[in-house]
Amino acid sequence: MRRFVFAVPFIIACGGAETPPADSAAMAPAALTEAEVAGTWAGTAMLEGTDSVIGHWTNMCSAGTCQLTMTESPKDTVISTYVLEGDSARYSIPPRAEPTMGGAMVIESGVARYAGNQISGSGMVKLADRPDSVVMRYRFTGSKAP
């Protein structure tokens, strides 16, 4: 007759006290403030998945609204709105005629993340009458003017 030693009950019984999970609220980044977003920002936009710059931009923001100006031809200035959400801002641009797409009506939305005087994020352009269609995805980086 063979003897089997079962150590599993002993290990379970002798296991130390479990470490309580860390407080996720204590680890969350600080909420973004309007003062951190307000001001003039400038940077570049690139097609998603590439390092090809598709445009240089300047964005003047205050109180939930931004005025975005592209420096390439055709110069285009659009108004966007934003909402602070935790450590980032969600923005949207209402329907507008896009000159580089033959005047097609488009909408735009995305998320911007701020770290001191730096900004980065991503967005997408959709046809205004087909908001489930994504025409282009892009990402952007920039910095705040002193």
CATH number of the CATH domain containing 137: 2.40.128.120
Divide the 146 residues of the chain into consecutive groups of 10 and give the mean pLDDT of each group. 41 52 66 96 96 94 96 84 96 93 95 96 97 95 95
Domain that holds residue 65: 32-144
Nearest to 62 by CA among 92, 87, 82, 90: 82
pTM given for the model: 0.77
- How many Å apart are CA 135 and CA 110, to the nearest integer? 14
Residue 96 lies in a domain: yes
Residue 61 lies in a domain: yes
Strand blocks (E) in the chain: 39-47, 53-62, 65-70, 76-85, 88-98, 104-115, 118-127, 130-144
Residue 18 lies in a domain: no
For the chain, the domain total comes to: 1
